[in-house]
Amino acid sequence: MWHQQQIHFETGGRETIDITAKVSSIVRESAVQTGLVHVFMQHTSASIMLCENADATVRDDLETLIGRIAPDADPEYRHDYEGDDDMAAHGRSVFTSNDISLPISAGELALGTWQGLYLWEHRYQPHHRNLMVTIQGEGFG
Amino acid sequence: MWHQQQIHFETGGRETIDITAKVSSIVRESAVQTGLVHVFMQHTSASIMLCENADATVRDDLETLIGRIAPDADPEYRHDYEGDDDMAAHGRSVFTSNDISLPISAGELALGTWQGLYLWEHRYQPHHRNLMVTIQGEGFG
Amino acid sequence: MWHQQQIHFETGGRETIDITAKVSSIVRESAVQTGLVHVFMQHTSASIMLCENADATVRDDLETLIGRIAPDADPEYRHDYEGDDDMAAHGRSVFTSNDISLPISAGELALGTWQGLYLWEHRYQPHHRNLMVTIQGEGFG
């Protein structure tokens, strides 16, 4: 069984958006009982990220850390045509991830207790983001 | 053919544990000849990591590098309820990985000569860690 | 439907090589219409990376950033038997990725407009690199 659909999010500029409920609902609609769901970000300046979902300060601190790894407006950047966040966004994307696969067990996303799936927008301005969700696995019987 | 099972490790606190043999044995039991095995860490403060397995100093040096990327007890952290390693562990997890897919060829994990698969515990204290292993592929005939 | 083949690249030493066309052509030959392609680097000193493909300065700047995360010849390294780039290459590999899965839609790689897939060689010297490509999905009808 294969199920594939593109989903869309309007971001408000640099931020994290919890997409767990959306992906979970697509998993349920697919009727796959045992399998995998693959989530793919079709852009190079935003990420797919799995992290702790109980306390928003975790994502504040991740913002602090990634701002050191791929700083805005770094004086050594050559690629800065679209502003201070242009190259930073590409770096933030490469040092995190654009794709993830998650297990499906008993028809549900098999995440740990405190795991949430996030879209991480790296640009300052709001963007329209396309994600491709691909589900495969076995159904009942 | 699908095969899925949860496996468990008791870590001794911050360390790397070679899980290649365990995953290889599950692959062999599955009888899949050509396919993929997906290994997923169901926690946000430990990682799945693929790295050189011949010399343990590689993992010592990775510890040095990741300690700079996501330092313990960073004064800018807001999320520090569980101690100096709390937010560091989440950062270490996000900047490495929680999931990996590996090819299965001729019924075996198709790793390179010096590649080993590791569980990387990021917390100071021993933890019980759950990983979901999902195998899919073709068998004989 | 499963299709698996090993592909090879001769790198010229530290550099990025666009492998999108090669992977795309294997996807087309597989005749899979809806599915996933998994690309796996069978080495621990080179990466698979997805990034912006329109402007080469993005990859120049990524080189700058990763050189800070996993510096060559770091005085704290213990693993330096093969030279200044030995441990740096392992670190660069761990903090990026060795594997990626990409969606296949309507028989084509479903990348975003500006996404390219790259082999990132981290060693100074030219190397022979083996990648395993595994494709699965549904064909016509």
- In this prediction the pTM is 0.98
Give the mean pLDDT of chain A.
97
The helix (H) or strand (E) run that includes residue B21 is helix B20-30
Residue B70 per-residue DSSP state: S
Q: What is the pLDDT of residues B78-115, one digit of tens each?
A: 999 999 999 999 999 999 999 999 999 999 999 999 99
Are the beta carbons of B52 and C38 separated by less than 8 Å? Answer: no
Which chains are adjacent to chain C, needing at least 3 Cβ pairs under 8 Å?
A, B
Q: What is the DSSP letter of A1?
A: -
From chain B, the residues in CB contact with C94 under 8 A are 49-51, 62, 96
Residue pLDDT, tens place only, A89-108 = 999 999 999 999 999 999 99
Chain-chain contact of C110 with A97 (C-beta, under 8 angstroms): no
Per-residue pLDDT, averaged over A112-118, amounts to 97
CB contact under 8 A, B38 and A100: no
* Phi-psi category of residue A107: left, alpha or beta, with phi > 0 → left and psi -120 to 50 → alpha: left
DSSP assignment of B87-118: HHHHHHHHTS-SEEEEEEETTEE---TTEEEE
Interface residue of C23, C65, C68, C140 to substitute, partner A, most A CBs within 10 Å: C65
Burial environment of residue C29 by CB neighbours within 10 A (0 to 12, 13 to 18, 19 or more): exposed
CA distance C122 to chain B (A): 14
- Interatomic CA distance for residues C71 and B23, integer angstroms: 32
Distance CA A99, CA C104 (A): 13
CA distance A79 to chain C (A): 6
pLDDT tens readout for residues A8-60: 999 999 999 999 999 999 999 999 999 999 999 999 999 999 999 999 999 99
User: How large a percentage of chain A has pLDDT more than 70?
Assistant: 99
Give the tens place of pLDDT for each residue, C99-141.
999 999 999 999 999 999 999 999 999 999 999 999 999 998 5
For the beta carbon of residue C60, count every other beta carbon within 10 angstroms: 15
Measure in Å the smallest separation between the Cα of A123 and chain B Cα atoms.
19
Are B44 and A102 inside 8 Å of each other by CB?
no
**Contacts with C5 (C-beta within 8 Å, 6 or more apart), sequence order:** C26, C132, C133
Cα dihedral A102, A38, C42, C124 sign: negative
Q: Please write the tens of the pLDDT for every residue from C55-71.
A: 999 999 999 999 999 99
Q: Report all structural domains of chain A as residue ranges with CATH numbers, in order of start.
A: 2-138 (2.60.120.460)
